[in-house]
A and B are shown apart, each in its own frame.
Chain A
Amino acid sequence: MQFPAKMIHSLFLVNSSGDIFLEKHWKSVVSRSVCDYFFEAQERASEPENVPPVIPTPHHYLISVLRHRIYFVAVIQSEVPPLFVIEFLHRVVDTFQDYFGVCTEAAIKDNVVVVYELLEEMLDNGFPLATESNILKELIKPPTILRTVVNTITGSTNVGEQLPTGQLSVVPWRRTGVKYTNNEAYFDVVEEIDAIIDKSGSTITAEIQGVIDACVKLTGMPDLTLSFMNPRLLDDVSFHPCVRFKRWEAERILSFIPPDGNFRLLSYHVSCQNLVAIPVYVKHNITFREGSSQGRFELTLGPKQTMGKGLEAVLISSQLPRGVLNTNLNPSQGTYNFDPVTKLLSWDVGKINPQKLPSLKGSMSLQAGASKPDENPTINIQFKIQQSALSGLKVNRLDMYGEKYKPFKGIKYMTKAGKFQVRT
């Protein structure tokens, strides 16, 4: 009898058409057929997202994650916190993305050896071993085009020649002996606004989620401090492990020794209690008439409270009711597209010019004889506002200690729409 072992037993990668294209077992081998339960759930789900993340089977539990249209299905044999597995799987995807640039089926198949080596290092006996990308990169060099070419010619390897020290150092997330000729530290403050706007244009709920992503390429062991003009704005924060928590508690200053390269320094939440300025408004008039096979569709967008910054990369999408056969719309700018099969309307607006507001007008043809849809479609909006963080968060200064050179520092602000919906 096999004693039920804890944690992650096996991993299967399944593509959207339901084929297993990679499997890895950390303990004894689990038959592929265990995935049949997963396929069944996949068949039952109307959308790929609707596959339940946790599927119990008679002897195993399948915990899956869907990223980049690939299901990462972990096989579990006994009690384990499901978030533990989910978080780990996402970490695996992040690592793949970090290594191969994209995390697609093709990329994984092309780099199957590296993938295998990574999985081997990331998990020992089903328990995470090394998940920090900095350490992994020391153990296993990420493939680059140049290196692949060189490797094929010289027959040399991807595996790090000398063994890493990171795992054992005081600063587990930073590798030692980092050297750059240009020392640079860039910080991107990116805020996403989630909102639900109701029919009449009033805000039902709106909140801001922000992250500070950093790209730090500094020599040696720099010790950075980042302070804000208005740290009180940050309501709920989560940090990269490098941030000294006590210091933040006491002084509201971020003090940290950064990992090398790209990483997410912190993510924060600006509470919904604060009033959030909604930077865009939508005027809409979507009507279906009873008995008629025609419906009207009118949409106008305009900027609002954007603090003088322009709205860019505006994209409208909307799932029209099933009864709509086709649309005949006329955009004042940009291009629109309607897929008669999925009933998905998308309109790539581009930039909004406040002098000439973009609009999309026209008619929809409905299925003859079908009754009028109950609900008007919800409109999802995407946009970007450069050089501005909607919450008003401002970085005060960045100081570096511990190293002598003068780094180049840069900070960028951006606001994006997150899940921004207008109900009509």
Chain B
Amino acid sequence: MDEGKKLHVHDKVFLSLPLLISIIKLSTTAILFYDSLAFHNKHFCTLAKRQMLSMSTNNLSYSDQGGTDSAVEVGQETTPTSSNAGAGFGLFSVDFKKNEDLKEMLESNKESLKLEAMKRVVGLIAKGKNASELFPAVVKNVASKNIELKKLVYVYLVRYAEEQQDLALLSISTFQRALKDPNQLIRASALRVLSSIRVPIIVPIMMLAIKEAASDMSPYVRKTSAHAIQKLYSLDQDQKELLIEVIEKLLKDKSTLVAGSVVMAFEEVCPDRIDLIHKNYRKLCNLLVDVEEWGQVVIISMLTRYARTQFTNPWKEEGVFDERNERAFYESDEEKTRDETEAKPYMMDPDHRLLLRNTKPLLQSRNTAVVMSVAQLYWHLAPKNEVSIITKSLVRLLRSHREVQYIVLQNIATMSIQRKGMFEPYMKSFYVRSTDATHIKSLKLEILTSLANEANISTILREFQTYVKSQDKQFAAGTIQAIGRCATNISEVTDTCLNGLVLLLSNRDETVVAESVVVIRKLLQIQPTQHSDIIKHMAQLFDNITVPMARASILWLMGEYCERVPKIAPDVLRKMAKSFTSEEDIVKLQTVNLAAKLYLTNSKQTKLLTQYILNLGKYDQNYDIRDRTRFIRQLIVPNDKNGALSKYAHRILLAPKPAPVLESAYKDRDRYQLGTLSHTINTKASGYLELSDWPAVAPDQSVRNVEVKEWAPSLGKTGKSKPAKSSDDKFYSDSGEEEEEKGSGSSSSEDGSSSSSEESGSDAESHVQKNSSQSSEESDKSSSQSEKSSSESDSEKKERKTKTPLQKKTVKPTAKDSDSDENGNIAKEANSSSAEESYSDSDSDSESDSDTHTDSDSGTEHKKETKSKAKPKVEVKSTKEVSLLDLGDFTPAPVTQHKSSVLSPSLLGDLEGLSLSNVSSIIQVSGPAFVPEKSHDLLHRMTGKGLSAQYQFPRQPCLYQPTMVSVQISLTNTTDHPLEQIHIGDRSPTGLNMHCFNTIECLEPEASVTVFMGIDFNDSTQAANFQLCTKEDHFSVSIQPAIGELLLPITMTELDFRKEKGKLLGMNESSATITMAAENMTSQPISRPVATVANLGVVPSSQGNVHRFAGKTASSRAVVLVTVELRESSTALITINTEKSVMGSMLLRDLKLALAQA
């Protein structure tokens, strides 16, 4: 061992001789260079020094390499940005021996030895040392079975493959094999490494792998392929077109895992191909909340850019925008909107609104980058009156790490210049602490200055007073500048500030004084009158001030206002003449200026002094001063040659100067998008994409509608509005804001295509049309990569044909059961894939599921539908059920069952056959399987002073609002006098959404009346408390719903049921085993008690012992699935699957109770 080392030392010496010489040469040139530059470029010096140091310390280590290569590398090092630099310096300071034994270890048969060696190699790489010569030994292990060893080999390969291309190719086949591995993680990691090997020759292989991975079953692998796209693109830009195809395909992916990565790839490869986004815009918006946080940042910034090209400016007319009109705007077709945009006040595009709405919750993210990106989105896209919602969150970020603070403060600084009001309430959050870092302090100061106004200036100035005294003198100087800015901006405090600054002139610290002088000079220039005493004061201080800038400022002031201080100015000049030679250049220049000005105004006293100074200046070392002196002399001292100019000397030198504007450094930062690197460094970073200006006229919005390609051409032409349509418009514009937005924006409603369409005639069909490209793509996926083709739409056409007879049937307000049966059948054959989609949507925004159907009206459909006259009419009505039923022209008589004064909600049960539930094919509300007669006491006649009230749940979808549960209330007057004005008073919780019945003017003795109301319980069993009032009395009553009453039954096929259930496993599943009596083991007794407990629909079952029930919650439309599996020995397993786990467990409890009894 020892001997080996000795030998090695010898080697070193011999090897390094020529090398040393070259190094010496190099360093001498460097030294020369260094010297020559020393005065000019301090920056370079430090670099050079560093290089020299590193060279000297590394002399020995270079010799290890024993080649001239390393000397070349040293040369390159001197340019700090050279991107190759390979191993850098340092290289191998360890000895050869180690290298040798690493090689041996890697080639040994023992796994543990190999692993040990690889760990050491990774250690070398981490230290930045060169381990490239081990490449052949390492690459042999790429096929190792040991996972850790493999990983380390991957690390090595990625690092050195570029340098050892030939050898790297040896490993490719291993990866190609791994790409076919059944394990998704192995496939993914193989693709990761393969794409990280930057060897041009494997580009075709990479391309193939990416394409394959892009249609992999596993979303994780697809995500990796999105990453690989960028890697391949940076390796070979000729592949762009092919890669864009892959991106296009991946953009359609619905997995939240993929979304962020593919948008990243899009941003890198083809950020200008905005057309690829159109069709995916709404999907991205809706998925956004569920995407991982890093992806959110990327998507949001991309959508910001997108929105700026697609929507019109919401800032033009503030506060005019009216959500109600949006629908009309949105619905109207292309030509119409073109005309309208000019005439009408601004209306926000629903897609624009969708983006704003869906990003808002992300302000609550723990990831500061996400919060910031939402903030910038609001800043750049939201109407002015909505921007302020980001304030709170941004201020919250200030509690985060120092670096985060820095970036956030910078952005706030830019914002606060334009919108003081946003941050003013949080002014105190920007107060400076002595422990803040310098750059944080100055940013806070900046913001405080921007926030200052007449109202808060005194508070701010008081705060500034503390800062001025700070031990951090740089910060104190910054504060003085800030005071100066406040003084110019707010005229009320100018004098106060000026006096304060004058006081600072007697400060002991030089920087403070100097800064004050400079600021005072600027202030005086703005308001030169009445301040001669201040100038005098400054002249007195002149002797004590040594900071050149401050002295120069005072001299300039003297010269500029020499007429106001006629006695003092010449005296100052006299002093300056004495000390001229020892002053700094900047002071000398101002002295010359002062002399010239005094010469012009007061030549009697200063002529000699001026000439003296000009003479001194003439022989000054500094070129500028000599130059200036010469110029001034020619200008002011009259002689023969220069008569022309000297006439104007007075006007040239003593011209009124414009006052300087004290502005924020962040004044024009907003030309960069907030939150970007370019904004931070205030220069355009490479790769920065400009935010475009709003288009004057919004581009066609229909591009975002998702539709079948085949049908597309007919759309534009036939889109003429018809009477039927205009009535639609009006009606739409009345519907609630949320519903319309969501409905239009999200794809949630429509994908259900087939079975919902069958229910509601033309509307639904148009849904098919609009959304089928999406749904087709989806079924595409499920039917395992069959190409999107005409066969798809063909089948849809067929469906439509088969549907026609059905539609007629369903229009009739009867036959609920048969209805649901048909649903089942159709749904099965039609669109088995829709399940997936509906799930993800209901997940992402449960509000969306209200029963609107939005963008459905394309003219084509109307044309077709006019064939059957009756239909459009019915249809229009059916859509109305959303929030208002204006029944003026619509008699519900034939369907009302109850003798109530108000429209019965059961009407809805009948109408609903026609309506479109926008949830999805499988989730459609059906009629209740069973309505329990049980009624509950609401108000006992004793407590109600003769008024008694009972309530029951009629289990009908609520008429007033789909999220409400309808409650039937029977009121009886047991007194002997009529009760007047029965109505509902205060309610609690106050936020409770409740639709009250109309006031009953008079209830005769012994009479009773049944009324309906709707209550939105928000899917909780919290009681709704309210007051039942008569003319004289108020009675507090409360309705406590059983959990089962908060559900609405839905019908679905067994297949769909299974599918849905498959998505609601894990945390969404709760189950229990109970014992049942043996005689109850048949189907009937099971569904009865279940139906009594909960309003669920029965799902037809192929297995005798398994009973399935399905429903959805009224408020949030979450699917609730109940499975009762009968087992031997009279036990049964109840399983409940729902994302509302609380409801699930409560329902389970109720069901257990009910079935165990049975």
Contact = CB atoms under 8 A, between A and B. Distances in A.
Interface stretch (A151-159, A293-301, A385-393, A407-415): A151-159
Interface in B258-288: 261, 264, 267-268
A191 interface: no
Interface in B502-533: 507-509
B863 interface: no
Contacts of A196: 431, 433
B437 A49 contact: yes
B724 to A, nearest CB: 37
Interface in A237-283: 237-241, 245-246, 249-251, 255, 257, 264, 267, 269, 272
B469 A375 contact: yes
Interface in A80-101: 80-84, 86-88, 90
26 contacts: A5-B230, A22-B127, A24-B126, A29-B159, A31-B77, A33-B81, A36-B47, A45-B438, A47-B438, A54-B681, A63-B403, A66-B402, A67-B401, A79-B686, A90-B404, A127-B261, A157-B147, A159-B147, A164-B185, A170-B1065, A204-B428, A236-B395, A240-B366, A246-B846, A322-B471, A374-B509
Given A50-B439, A54-B677, A124-B192, A267 B366 contact: yes
Contacts of A67: 401
A127 B685 contact: no
Interface string A210-223: 00000000000101
Nearest to A155: B112
Interface in B285-320: 289, 292-294, 297, 301
A159 B154 CA distance: 14
B83 interface: yes
B352 interface: no
Interface class of chain B by DSSP: helix
A31 B687 contact: no
A60 B389 CA distance: 35
Interface stretch (B216-224, B564-572, B873-881, B905-913): B216-224
Contacts of B230: 5-6, 125, 127
B365 interface: yes
Interface stretch (B27-35, B231-239, B948-956): B231-239
B1067 interface: yes
Nearest to A7: B264
B341 interface: no
Interface in B148-206: 148-149, 151-152, 154-155, 159, 162, 183-186, 192, 195-196, 198
B428 A28 contact: no
Contact of A272 (B85, B371, B428): B428
A53 B471 contact: no
A282 to B, nearest CB: 15
A32 B687 contact: no
Interface stretch (B115-123, B728-736, B797-805, B999-1007): B115-123
A7 to B, nearest CB: 8
A124 B1145 contact: no
B399 A86 contact: no
B591 interface: no
Contact of B402 (A6, A53, A79, A223): A53
A4 B435 contact: no
B688 to A, nearest CB: 4
Interface in B687-721: 687-689
Interface stretch (A109-117, A142-150, A326-334, A350-358): A109-117
Contacts of A339: none
Interface in A2-44: 2-7, 20-25, 27-34, 36-37, 39-40, 43
Contacts of A78: 685-688
Contact of B433 (A22, A79, A167, A419): A419
Contacts of B1020: 251
B439 A81 contact: no
Nearest to A78: B687
Contact of A238 (B219, B364, B683, B685): B364
A125 B260 CA distance: 14
A217 B1116 CA distance: 31
B980 to A, nearest CB: 37
Given A82-B407, A241-B366, A272 B689 contact: no
B185 A163 contact: yes
B378 interface: no
A209 B1141 contact: no
Q: A interface, how many residues as a size bin?
A: 35 or more
Given A81-B369, A82-B675, A205-B429, 19 more contacts: A3-B234, A4-B686, A24-B126, A33-B88, A34-B81, A36-B47, A36-B50, A50-B439, A76-B677, A78-B688, A82-B677, A86-B404, A158-B148, A168-B219, A198-B466, A205-B428, A374-B508, A401-B1144, A402-B1141
A57 interface: yes
CB-CB nearest 8 A-B residue pairs: A31-B85, A78-B687, A155-B112, A157-B148, A205-B428, A375-B469, A159-B148, A53-B403
A241 B293 contact: yes
Interface in B401-453: 401-404, 406-408, 426, 428-429, 431, 433-435, 437-439
A77 B83 CA distance: 11
B812 interface: no
Contact of A236 (B148, B231, B393, B471): B393
Contacts of B365: 238-239, 241
B1066 A170 contact: yes
Given A120-B155, A125-B231, A250-B1018, A374 B85 contact: no
Contacts of A171: 1066-1067
Interface in B352-404: 361, 364-369, 371-373, 392-393, 395-396, 399, 401-404
Contacts of B435: 380, 419, 421
Interface of A: 2-7, 20-25, 27-34, 36-37, 39-40, 43, 45-47, 49-50, 52-54, 56-61, 63-67, 76-84, 86-88, 90, 112-113, 115-117, 120, 124-125, 127-129, 131, 155, 157-161, 163-164, 167-172, 194, 196, 198, 204-205, 207, 209, 221, 223, 225, 235-241, 245-246, 249-251, 255, 257, 264, 267, 269, 272, 319, 321-322, 371, 373-375, 377-378, 380, 401-402, 419, 421, 423
B713 to A, nearest CB: 38
A116 B399 CA distance: 31
A194 B399 CA distance: 10
A1 to B, nearest CB: 9
A4 B294 contact: no
Contacts of A30: 83, 85
A86 B403 contact: yes
A76 B433 CA distance: 31
Nearest to A1: B237
Contacts of B43: 40
Given A20-B128, A65-B403, A113-B119, A79 B678 contact: yes
Residue with the highest number of chain B CB atoms closer than 10 Å, among A47, A59, A87: A87
Contact of B264 (A127, A161, A245): A127
A83 B372 contact: yes
A380 B434 CA distance: 9
B403 A264 contact: no
Given A36-B47, A380-B435, A27 B234 contact: yes
B248 to A, nearest CB: 19
Contacts of B234: 2-3, 5, 27
B88 A6 contact: no
B556 interface: no
B404 A124 contact: no
A25 B369 CA distance: 23
Contacts of A221: 1066-1067
A371 B362 CA distance: 54
Nearest to A66: B402
A87 B404 contact: yes
B227 A79 contact: no
A68 to B, nearest CB: 12
Contacts of A77: 686-687
